Structure 1
């Protein structure tokens, strides 16, 4: 089982370009797995982890409700935002500057074949990262992602998650609000959940800005420990 993960930091990158890149890596792994099965070969399947920051964009999962986007096409343009229907699970979410987006593209046959365990591990990585900043983050039963003050009237989401998996290969991932402009969440019903707030790390810590690279390093440390991987840094190819 290959526990090496190629790490690429794409910087600020258009959502569609990144989605296409994810799809190409995802397809290559699937093709290799199909070849191994058909031809009886045992070629090693690669794993990837992409860090990226997107310009303002709203994405709707395959089971999402268009009614949860509260803007029409003209209003989207006025906000400088784009919109895509995509092939992950979950409902609607927002990505934008000041948000760390992570896309693990893993062959879970190299780790464990349990998608629920995979999601719980992703949540745990973020929970541990936020604990490094003194925040007690939690899961919210029946609601994927990471939250603060669960079970109180002040519950608020700080990290959204949505994944796609086929033949145990994953894509899409998590979006952690670090220095995000929370006003953009007012234009949607985040994740289709009404009446719950969204927050960002800088807001919780009462700071103007948090180091994105520092948060990334903490995420990688906890991901490495939880998934027992070895990261191989590679210059972004897109």
Structure 2
């Protein structure tokens, strides 16, 4: 029996592809499918102290949690014992992202010249990245940003086209009936936002902003 076990282990060692090659093939394939970026790198955080060979047990699904991938493996120890374990691989994926050139204050309107592109590891960036400055001038910052901060969807909001006190033409539509009257904004808002307005005789209504001059009542 002991001879049979030794033969099986010997075959396991001789026929198995070196772990580094297994890992390279697996990571390159899955990272290529996971991201459009062709610039990435990875490293094993820790390997067992003593082993004869490691076999990658490919999981059904590639999961990148933050910047880490946890991979199941089968380890043949020097003692001849075979164990299953998990190896942690740290991943870096590099892309050109948009960062601020200067300090931007909260509620400050954004301009294309406020930003530049820099190559960064996106696995450690929190939030939804924005890769284009197209129509960025329609937005403002929700937070104070320092030079070098990455632009994310969570850090910006549409800049208001209506400010508190602006005079608006309010429209009430019911079937074929259209009523219009003048009112004043009690809140700021962007196109599509719902705000409160007040008439000259102090009546309050809510409406959806159409543009900087018009609003449709919703109640």
TM-score scaled by length of structure 2: 0.23
Q: Which has the higher contact order (CA 8 A, sep 6+)?
A: 1
Q: Which has the higher helix share?
A: 1
Q: Which has the higher strand share?
A: 2
Please identify the structure whose Cα radius of gyration is greater: 2
